[in-house]
Structure 1
Amino acid sequence: MTIVAFGTYDAAKHPRAGIVIDGLREHGHEVLEINRPLGFSTAERVRMLQQPWRLPALAWRLLRCWLALWREARALRRRAGEPDAVLVGYLGHFDVLLARRAFPRSTIVLDHLVFAGDTARDRGAEGWRVRLLRGLDARALAAADIVLVDTAEHGALLPEGVEGIHVPVGARAEWFDARESRDDAAGSALSLVFFGLFTPLQGAPVIARALRLAQEAGARFIATIVGTGQDHAQARAEAGDIDGVTWIDWVEPGALPALVARHDVCLGVFGTSDKARRVVPNKVYEGAAAGCAVLTSDTPPQRAAFDGGALFTAAGDPEELAAAIVALAEDPGRRAELRALATSASERFRARSVVTPLALRLHEAR
């Protein structure tokens, strides 16, 4: 089967697109890419929604990318005919509209990992902005034949009549490769890592406060916090001037797996918003793949994905999170046990495995 991965996705910044492409190739499909990355991060796109005067910059860059995509799509159809399927990559709310017109006889698959209205609301937008983005979600979903969602909770948001397939986020091969370089020396101080965009759903201030409480309780640990974003300043303030915490604004994507793999525990998300209760973040899959123990909030989708393979604490509860950190700091054996459990669970989330439901569906459509 010939599949075209199409759109303005950026697999370097958002690995989800690469995971789905890798998985389809591992299932034996020929996957061609027609890709013109837009160049805006998720945070920048949301900022544009909150500051509408920035929207012309998005529209101009999108138009330039679309012209290139359209030309490449026409050239492909002249050369090889219509592909069997077109995969519109992550953040493809606009791209799927173009794909529907560029490939009118192909099966259009939209990877709808993010509901635009849901995300904007989680990051502070309201009123007409949220309504506008919910309309965009509706149009994007209507343009697709098959919609990929990462959790059952996101699947429940799909309108009646939209075919959804559950494809967990998973992790790319480089995260599993990073596991091989680990040095799990018994008895060393507990090491924790968090990386993200500091959006509300991630609950970075909860993590920061928990680290301070754990240190005040006498826990011996080091922590690496990677990233910047909306809640960064609040998180720094919550942590205060405690020892052993390194704050890093940016790590190149290619260097991140090795950095994470040098730690005992990967921290997930601890926010309390509706969106936080519907997701399993990429950092949970990636941390487990890299050989870390996983410590994250006790939400239905995360427990469904990692039950038995992670340690859970209540969302939004820094005291409970601090207590878990203290316990792990005092018990190297428990850390090793949790690493082994997370490693075992992560094998379910290699690219080939997570994409299997989509591969089967496309096989049925032939």
Structure 2
Amino acid sequence: MLNLNILWWGRSDIHYSRNRVIRKCLARLGCSFTDFRPLLSSLGGIEAQLRRLSRPSLVWVPCFRQRDMQAALTWSRKQQVPLVFDPLISAFDKQIFERKKFSAESKQGIKLLNWEKQLFRQADLVIGDTREHCNYFHGTFAVERSRLVDIPVGAEESLFKPATPQTQPTTPIRILFYGSYLGLQGPQYIIEAAKHYTGPPVQWQMIGAGPLLEQCKEAAQGLKNIAFLPWVAYEELPKSIQSADILLGIFGTSAKAHRVIPNKVYQTLACGKPLITMHSPAYPRDLLSHSNAGIHWVPPGDPKQLAITIAKLATEPLQLHDMGKLAQQTFRKYFSEAEIEQRLHKALKHFCS
């Protein structure tokens, strides 16, 4: 048990899946929370002082809250308590390489890099969701290896779990992708795979919305077995996963695509469903070499190989049930709440003294 009093600092959504899983696991380790949502991120330290917040065991700045970091760092130093940062993404990476707002060599790019670098380097512990993200934080922001730890995002196991009773493969085989249609997800390669597909009849379902949706719809014209569906409520998402036969992960070719394991992967494995996704160093090394893990790996940006892999599975639908069982075993071994608890305990136990 850790029994830490954690000051959860920032204008974050505590109901976001990463935050919910982390808080649930920390609570199981005996930790308690004080939630502090400053009115203005930049003035959070002043507000904390005026509200006379009690001195915690540590300050936790959750995902996406780089804007809250400086005030939280200043206040934590005055209180002489450690600060843990769980960024999940890099603002520099997102603005420069994903949104392409400006170049890395521009004044804005250099300024953003230096700003984020000094935030990361001041944290007592920086959490990456994958080993590759930790490598990125070390290489880009010069965060010391001793202050980096990778803890997977996981999935809410109370929601994402196998259907009871287990469903049998449908006819035609139902293939599901869901996501926000970002470049790193590579949804356009799924449409291209559908064009190349020559196996048994399948039904492609594409749930979600985002920047590449219209491009995908245009590319799919003439394909009658692809359905584009709007987002479903988060609580209803498990039903969509459970009713599908094969789930698709991500297939993008960007550097960031090789650093992430998306929510859909964790949620699919937790539901015990077969998964096809890109081969990526973000995954545990021994998992990548495991041929019986409920996952079929394909090269990123390769719609022909994706189509071949889907056809192979659709040709032998009875194997999908066994693949699903292996998928859930993979989740339990590498990404479960129990695994996250163990990693949190190991990472935070020295803050207990």
- Asked whether the two chains share a fold, i.e. TM above 0.5, the reply is yes
Structure 1 residues 174, 226: CA separation in 2 closer, same or farther (over 3 Å shift)? Answer: farther
Asked if 1:227 is matched to 2:208, the reply is yes
Q: Equivalent residue for 1:58?
A: none
Distance 1:334 1:174, change over 3 A: same
Partner of 1:330: 315
**Secondary structure, aligned partner of 1:224:** strand
Partner of 2:10: 7
Q: Find the counterpart in structure 2 of residue 164 from structure 1.
A: 148
Letter paired with 2:120: L
CA offsets per residue over residues 252-302 of structure 1, 9 Å max, x none? 222222222221222111001111111111110111112211110011223
Which residue is equivalent to 2:120? 141
**For this pair of structures, how many residues does the alignment match?**
333
Secondary structure in 2 matching 1:132: helix
* TM-score after normalising by structure 2: 0.86
Residue matched to 2:36: 34
Instruction: Decide which of 202, 207, 215 is 2:185's aligned counterpart.
Output: 202
- The reply on whether 1:93 has 2:61 as its aligned counterpart is no
Cα distance in 1 for partners of 2:110, 2:314 equals 46
Counterpart amino acid of residue 19 in structure 2: A
* 1:263 to 1:64, Cα distance in 2 relative to 1, 3 A: same
Determine what percentage of the aligned residue pairs are the same residue.
25
CA RMSD of aligned residues (A): 2.4
Structure 1 residues 187, 93: closer, same or farther in 2, change over 3 A? closer
Match of 1:360 among 317, 335, 346: 346
Q: Deviations over 1:229-265 (max 9, x none)?
A: 2222222223223223221232222222222222122
Distance 1:222 1:338 in 2: 19
How far 1:303 moved relative to its partner?
A: 5.8
After superposition, residues 12-27 of structure 1 pair within 5 angstroms as 12=15, 14-27=16-29
**Equivalent residue of 1:345, what SS?**
helix
Code of the residue aligned with 2:320 in structure 1: it is R
- Is the contact between residue 170 and residue 245 of structure 2 (CA under 8 Å) also seen in structure 1? no
User: In the alignment, which residue of structure 2 is the partner of 1:59?
Assistant: none
- Gapped runs of 5+ residues in structure 1? 37-62
Letter in 2 for 1:173: E
Matches within 5 A, 1:197-346: 197-214=180-197, 217-302=198-283, 304=285, 306-307=287-288, 308=290, 309=293, 310-346=295-331
**Does 2:83 match 1:75?**
no
Gap change, CA 1:280 and 1:229, over 3 Å in 2? same
The answer for the alignment partner of 1:108 in structure 2 is 83
Query: What is the identity, as a one-letter code, of the residue corresponding to 1:108?
Result: L
Q: Who is 1:51 aligned against?
A: none
What is the TM-score when the length of structure 1 is the normalising length? 0.83
User: Distance in 1 between the 2:251 and 2:223 partners?
Assistant: 21
- Structure 2 residue ranges without an equivalent (≥5): none
How far has the Cα of 1:320 moved from its partner?
0.3
- Which protein is richer in helix relative to its size? 1
Give how far 1:70 is off. Answer: 5.8
- CA displacement, residues 68-124 of structure 1 (integer Å, 9 cap, x when unaligned): 7864675362xxx31111111100211121211333322100002111222221233
Q: Output the CA distance in 1 between the equivalents of 2:45 and 2:21.
A: 21
CA separation of 1:187/1:222 partners in 2, compared to 1, >3 Å: closer, same or farther?
closer
User: CA 1:264–1:304 in 2, change beyond 3 Å: closer, same or farther?
Assistant: farther
Paired residue secondary structure (1:118): helix
Give the partner amino acid of 1:16: R
1:334 shift after superposition: 2.4
Contact 2:42-2:70 at 8 Å conserved across structures:
no
SS of residue paired to 1:113: coil
Q: Which amino acid aligns with 1:168?
A: P
Higher mean C-alpha displacement, 267-276 vs 299-308: 299-308
What is the letter of the counterpart of residue 122 of structure 1? E
Does the residue aligned with 1:246 lie in a helix, a strand or coil?
Answer: strand
Q: Does 1:122 align with 2:98?
A: yes
Where 1:258 maps in the other structure, the secondary structure is helix
CA contact (8 A) 2:173 2:201 kept: yes
Q: Give yes or no for contact 2:44–2:68 (8 Å, CA) kept in 1.
A: no
Equivalents in 2 of 1:118, 1:65: separation in Å?
A: 21
